[in-house]
Amino acid sequence: MTTPPFDTVTDDDIRAVSAQLGRPARNVVGIAARCVCGTPTVVSTAPRLDDGTPFPTFYYLTHPAATAAVSTLEATQVMNEYNDRLAADEDLRFAYAAAHNAYLADRESIALVPELAGISAGGMPVRVKCLHALVGHALAAGPGVNPVGDLALERADWTPTVCQCIVDSKGTAQAGE
């Protein structure tokens, strides 16, 4: 198995992610996507937390502006629309199932957790449940891997190509809202 392509985690990354989340970051094994300024946008989280809890969400969206934009999509019932599209479009279903398999392969390259066998995130492979997880996967994997994550990114009032981070008094970028 190969390790997913993500950046090594630095102490500065953990500080930035903790600030983004408003709580200590836990069990981060890599930075899967970054803002154009370098601030973490998506982290990869260990499939089993230090306390032994299985954790299926391998790609976790942390950037506050991205999270807010995706929350707006969820609040406006976009998930229902995507579920309808999934039911009606065989090609979309096939691509979404492939995204599910890619997600599982990425997570399992870090650790096999028997309790998570066949479980990915975001409702894959049969429904759309959490756009945050799907967008996190799309940002980490790149365009064309997670079709529903790609659709949400196209529609979101946020883009990974424009920095929306705030620079603090020390010159350190923190993801802004």
Is there a domain that residue 2 lies in?
no
pLDDT at 171: 46
Tens-digit pLDDT profile for residues 116-126:
999 999 999 99
pLDDT at 8: 84
Is there a domain that residue 60 lies in?
yes
Tens-digit pLDDT profile for residues 29-40:
999 999 999 999
- Beta strands of 12-139 (E only): which ranges? 28-34, 40-45, 59-61
pLDDT band for position 2 (cuts 50, 70, 90): very low
Contact criterion met (CB below 8 Å) for 174 and 16: yes
CA 73 to CA 69: how far, in whole Å?
7
Is there a domain that residue 19 lies in?
yes
Is there a domain that residue 5 lies in?
no
Contact criterion met (CB below 8 Å) for 69 and 158: yes
Could you give the number of structural domains in the chain? 1
What domain range is 98 assigned to? 11-175
pTM over 0.85? The answer is: yes
Is there a domain that residue 118 lies in?
yes
Report the chain's C-alpha Rg in angstroms: 16
Is there a domain that residue 153 lies in?
yes
Is there a domain that residue 1 lies in?
no
pLDDT band for position 168 (cuts 50, 70, 90): low
> 100 CB contacts (<8 Å, ≥6 apart)?
120, 124, 125
Mean pLDDT of 161-170: 73
Is there a domain that residue 116 lies in?
yes
Tens-digit pLDDT profile for residues 64-107:
999 999 999 999 999 999 999 999 999 999 999 999 999 999 99
Instruction: Report the chain's mean pLDDT, rounded to a whole number.
Output: 92
